[in-house]
Amino acid sequence: MVLQLVARKLIKPQGYRPVPGRPTLYVTTRNFLAQFALNSLTDLPTLEEVKELNFDEIE
């Protein structure tokens, strides 16, 4: 999934976390904002709002 997001230029690697294994840190790109018609990341719903959608009930 991450590779697909990178290939579509929705995210890009920005560095490495200073912990064992040094996992890659990713950031969103301007293409991400354009793709989802957002002005900034603050336009995204909060985690609480997403949880309220209750996707388990969607068939």
pTM of the entire structure? 0.71
Find the domain containing 22 and state its range. Answer: 2-57
Number of domains in the chain: 1
Token output for 4:
């697909």
Return d(Cα 33, Cα 10) in angstroms, integer. 8
Rounded Cα gap, residues 8 and 18, in angstroms: 27
Digit-coded pLDDT (tens) for 13-53 = 999 999 999 999 999 999 999 999 999 999 999 999 988 88
- Residue 5 tokens read as 């997001």
Cα separation of 45 and 36, whole Å? 12
* Amino acid (1-letter code) at residue 23: P
Q: How many beta carbons lie within 10 A of that of residue 32, not counting itself?
A: 17
CATH number at residue 53: 1.10.10.10
